[in-house]
Structure 1
Amino acid sequence: MPQILMDRSGEMEVFVRVVHEGGFSAAARSLDITPSAVSKLIGRLETRLGARLLMRTTRALALTEEGQAYHHAALRILQDLADAEEAASGGAIRGRLRVNTTIPFGTMFVAPAMPQFLKGNPSLIVDLSFTDGIVDLVAEKTDVAIRMGDLPDSGLVARKLGQSRRVVCAAPSYIERHGPPETPADLQHHDCLTFNFRRSRPSWPFLLDRRDHQQPVAGSLIVNNGQTMKQMVLAGAGIARLGLFHVADDLEAGRLVPLLEQFNPNDLELIHAIYVGGGPLPQKARAFIDFMTHILRDVPALKAEPKA
Structure 2
Amino acid sequence: MSSPAPGLATQGPNWIGESSDDRIQVARVGYCQRMPAYTPPRPLVDAFERARVLDAPAQSIAKRVRQLLAQPRLKQAISGTWLGHPVHPPLTDVVIGSFLSASLLDVIAPHSGGTAARRLISVGITATLPTALTGISDWADTELSDERVRRVGLVHAELNSVALLLYTASLRARRRDRRLSGMLLAFAGATVLGFSGYLGGHMSYMRGIGVNQTAFDPGPPQWTAVLDSTELRDGQLHGTVAEDAPVLLVRHNGGLYAIHNRCSHRGCLLSEGELDGAVITCPCHGSQFDVRDGTLVRGPATTGQPQLDVRETNGHIEVRTATRG
TM-score between both structures, scaled by the size of structure 1: 0.19
Whose RCO is larger (CA < 8 A, sep 6+)?
1
The structure carrying a bigger strand percent of its residues is 1
The TM-score normalised by the length of structure 2 is 0.19
